[in-house]
Amino acid sequence: MQDLSRYAYINAKIRSQIGKLLVPDQIDRLIDAPNMRDAVLILSNSAYARFIENEDVHLEELEKRLTQYDISLHLKISAHLWSEARRLLELLLERYELKQVKILLRARHQHMGADEVRSLIVPGAFTHTVDADRFLASQGLDDLLNVLKDTPYKEPLARAWEDFQRTGFLFYVENALDADYFQRVWQQIDGLPAQDRQAASRLWGIETDMENISRLIRLKSNFHLSILEALKSMLPRGFKVKESLLQRAGTGEFSVMIKELTVGPYWELVSIAAKDTQQKLLLLEVVLYHALFNETGRVLAGFPFTIGTVLAYLILKGAETRRVLSILYSKSFGQSPERIRGVLC
């Protein structure tokens, strides 16, 4: 009975919100739109109408508005949850803040002007007190750590600073921040009751999978590392991409890893379409997104009174926001529908 009382009200609210998500036909129409203006017109006849003032949309501003809305959803939903579940949503909300911290790190590294940086920051995305001007003006590690003294980012940044100083690559700092963040989310999930823990673990496990595949892609593309070298930066506790599977990939059994992760038609797609490791990683990322959508659907169709319903909706909404923005940015660059479909997760 306790689970029913905890989730009955919020479950009803979330079910109504799910009805506002874009259906596959709307996504297809967006992709097939001749240009970005036509795609914006399609969006103006959906739940996104409230964010579109006219056909001449500035994508950077639209991205900020959509991000702010997704943040507001987290806050509204978490207000109706019991303490441990609310703390989990607060941690998930930190992911938006972490993105802003990374923007500040890159801006500081590249000596960007304050006005340019402010144009990139999403208002309301910070859950901790971070003085952006002091952050950008900081002269050394001690100064920077002082700016972050009341945040969870201070310790992982300090641990990774030596590697950053040695190589000049911010990746080491960003990697440490991500690893610390994912670990804190897992710790919170581990403290949930059994049914909540099971649902949350599956969903966050696939999020971990996607983050790991995304890292492999970035490390091979930007740093030209071998799979074995890249594995040192992988996050533990993935749902499908297990540590043992990653280790096999690192010892030359990459195709075996792909085959174990992609069953049925997905394996045929990857094996036929992907001619090299990089292409296989990109296609695997798409496969994992499909796995996440399937898992969220399974959670929503199952027992409704767990944190899984909440997480499934927020994951679907966040994924939809990313897809919509990806389509619009692709349209602004003049990419064809075929090209967009080929890379869209």
Mean pLDDT along residues 174-181: 96
Mean pLDDT along residues 96-102: 96
29 torsion bin: left (phi>0), alpha (psi -120 to 50), beta (else):
alpha
Q: Is the pLDDT of residue 244 over 70?
A: no
Q: Which of 154-168, 266-280, 309-323 has the lowest mean pLDDT?
A: 266-280
Type of residue at 301: A
Residue 104 CB-density burial (10 A; 0-12 exposed, 13-18 middle, 19+ buried): buried
Q: Which of 119, 228, 214 is nearest to 171 (CA)?
A: 214
First to last CA, the chain: 38
Residue 150 CB-density burial (10 A; 0-12 exposed, 13-18 middle, 19+ buried): exposed
CB atoms within 10 A of CB 125: 22
The whole-model pTM stands at: 0.84
Q: Which of 30-39, 88-97, 246-255, 324-333 has the lowest mean pLDDT?
A: 246-255
Q: Is the pLDDT of residue 281 over 50?
A: yes
Could you write out the DSSP letters of every residue in 78-139?
HTTS-HHHHHHHHHHHHHHHHHHHHHHHHHHHTT--HHHHHHHSPTT--SS---HHHHHH--
286 pLDDT tier (thresholds 50, 70, 90): low
279 pLDDT tier (thresholds 50, 70, 90): low
Mean pLDDT along residues 55-75: 92
Mean pLDDT along residues 258-263: 54
Mean pLDDT along residues 2-13: 68
Q: Is the dihedral of CA 192, 198, 200, 201 positive or negative?
A: positive
Q: Is the pLDDT of residue 164 over 80?
A: yes
CA dist., res. 317 & res. 334, Å (int): 26
Question: Taking all residues of the chain, what is their mean pLDDT, rounded to a whole number?
Answer: 83
Collapsing DSSP states into helix, strand and coil, what is residue 293? Answer: helix
